[in-house]
Amino acid sequence: MAVSAKRLPSTGSLRQAPFDRLPSTGSGSVFGECRPLSLSKGHDMEVFTLANEITSQEIGCNSMLKRMVAWVCVVLIALGCAKDAEELEDPVLAEVGDRRITASQLIDFEQRLPAQLKTKKSGLDGYRDYLQTIIDKEIFLQEAIKRGLDEAPEVAQKLQREKAERVLSLLFEREFLAKVHVDEQELRATYEAADKEREVKLRLIIVDTQAEAEEIGQSLADGRDFAELAHSRSQHKSTAPQGGELDGYLTPKRIPIYLQEYINALAVGEYSEPIRLPNDQFGIYQVMHARPVSFATASNELEAKLREEKTTELIETFLAQLRADIDLQANAETLQQLQQWVAAGRREYTEAERAAVLF
């Protein structure tokens, strides 16, 4: 079913599926020199015709890769080299030694890759690069294992930590997160019972100097219209044409921290004194309207809070039961010694002291 590549080191034999026969748009193939497939003329034309059809489509990467997987399955059937249904479901794209690299692994690799590390190539050429990266990584891994580096103490320690973290994460997910549910009725009841924050609609005037800001402040005190002054004097280009009006309503958490104490103190219609901003400009803000935060706005935060409260309660109950089951008893003498060592500022301990049992 597969094609052997000549360019790879002797860490393990490499076999690549007919996927390798896709034409490369660059100079040469990222897979190196590959032995040609023994295909009939009809099969050969079918492979290249279908490959060209796929690469000519203007479609997203995930859709492209799904089409590629389907294409590999067609080729495997045409060549009569698919052994079973499992192989058709997840075709093997390459083999490095006894390690198989499948289409699903390639999909997973591409989806997990950070945006800044993705190839600039598109379509199947991009996936050739990803497959070669997976192959190269496996070659390095097999060489490291061959040298016995997988048995190094630092590797064992890291694996033990990672295993502990994964086990705890799985326990947390199954024992707590999966058992916590918050429905809309509970959310609405919590919303109605809570003291509601207000959200405000603001106007603003931004100028470059304190003198300008104080002059505008005096004009406002003399009865000039805020919107008129914002339109004629504000340096904030996106709001000045609208009389300084910001779009939408702002909840307290959406107002910058350095402005919260000023704006939260304003009643509807009131405006602030000139405020120095982080960019050394000066701003004057007016509250146009205010209303209680809506249920739609508050629901996500309320749900997160309720989930946290329920999860904490489940954890405390679960932990209390486990402690009771193992009859946990503190070693008062050792704990007292530890407190004395910490109070004395000790940072280094003997092996015997490190092995002291606290419980």
Q: Which domains, and CATH codes, for the chain?
A: 3-150 (no CATH), 197-292 (3.10.50.40), 309-354 (no CATH)
Identity of the residue numbered 293: V
Q: How confident is the model at residue 44 (pLDDT cuts 50, 70, 90)?
A: very low
Please report how many Cα atoms fall inside a 13 Å half-sphere around the Cα of residue 277, on the Cβ side: 16
* Residue 242 confidence (pLDDT) above 80: yes
C-alpha closest to that of 244 among 253, 233, 255: 233
Q: Quick check: helix, strand or coil at residue 100?
A: strand
Determine the Cα angle at 115 with ends 113 and 119, to 5°: 80
135 vs 9: CA distance, rounded Å: 11
Residues 6+ away with beta carbon under 8 Å from 247: none
pLDDT for the residue 351: 74
Q: Which residue has the higher pLDDT, 75 or 43?
A: 75
H helix intervals, the chain? 41-55, 61-79, 85-89, 103-112, 123-146, 153-175, 184-193, 210-221, 226-233, 257-264, 295-326, 332-343, 351-354
Average pLDDT over residues 277-282: 95
Q: How confident is the model at residue 12 (pLDDT cuts 50, 70, 90)?
A: very low
On whether the CB atoms of residues 50 and 39 are closer than 8 A, the answer is no
193 vs 12: CA distance, rounded Å: 66
C-alpha closest to that of 207 among 272, 274, 287: 274
DSSP 247: S
pLDDT tens for 282-308 read 999 999 999 999 998 899 999 999 999
Average pLDDT over residues 156-185: 92
Q: Which residue has the higher pLDDT, 335 or 193?
A: 193
Average pLDDT over residues 220-241: 96
Average pLDDT over residues 152-173: 91
Instruction: Write down the pTM of the prediction.
Output: 0.51
Identity of the residue numbered 73: C
pLDDT for the residue 314: 94
* Residue 86 confidence (pLDDT) above 60: no
* Residue 262 confidence (pLDDT) above 50: yes
pLDDT for the residue 322: 87
pLDDT for the residue 345: 79
- Phi/psi for 118 (5° steps) reads -75, 150
Q: Which two tokens stand for residue 54?
A: 């796929």
pLDDT for the residue 70: 54
pLDDT for the residue 352: 67
Average pLDDT over residues 40-44: 35
Mean pLDDT of the chain: 78
Average pLDDT over residues 92-117: 88
Q: Quick check: helix, strand or coil at residue 1?
A: coil
Q: Which two tokens stand for residue 14?
A: 């490499």
* Residue 52 confidence (pLDDT) above 70: no
Handedness of CA 145, 147, 150, 154 (dihedral sign): negative
pLDDT for the residue 334: 73
pLDDT for the residue 36: 30
Q: Which residue has the higher pLDDT, 173 or 40?
A: 173
Identity of the residue numbered 352: A
19 vs 85: CA distance, rounded Å: 19
Q: How confident is the model at residue 103 (pLDDT cuts 50, 70, 90)?
A: confident
pLDDT for the residue 1: 36
* Residue 85 confidence (pLDDT) above 90: no
Crossing angle (nearest 10°) for helices 61-79 and 123-146: 80
